[in-house]
């Protein structure tokens, strides 16, 4: 199975969700991506200059 790519549209939500203490698995499941891609965003390896979102999407799973 090919690993999906993180897009710039995903990054603000990933950063906000991590700031709200969502675990990597829940975020990765929502976007259907590998947990390693979440780590890449959080470590600044992907899209480091994109800020967190103001709100989570309405369909994002609850903590």
Q: What's this model's pTM, rounded to 2 decimal places?
A: 0.93
Domain ranges in the chain are 1-56
pLDDT tens per residue, range 42-61: 999 999 999 999 999 999 99
Taking only the tens place, the pLDDT of each residue in 1-23 is 467 899 999 999 999 999 999 99
Backbone angles phi, psi at 31, to 5 degrees: -90, -5
Question: Within 10 Å of residue 2's Cβ, how many Cβ atoms?
Answer: 4
């Amino acid at each position: 199975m090919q690993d999906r790519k993180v897009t710039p549209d995903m990054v603000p939500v990933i950063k906000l969700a991590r700031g709200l203490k969502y675990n990597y698995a829940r975020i990765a499941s929502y976007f259907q991506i590998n947990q390693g891609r979440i780590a890449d965003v959080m470590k600044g390896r992907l899209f480091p200059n994109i800020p967190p979102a103001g709100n989570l999407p309405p369909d994002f799973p609850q903590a």
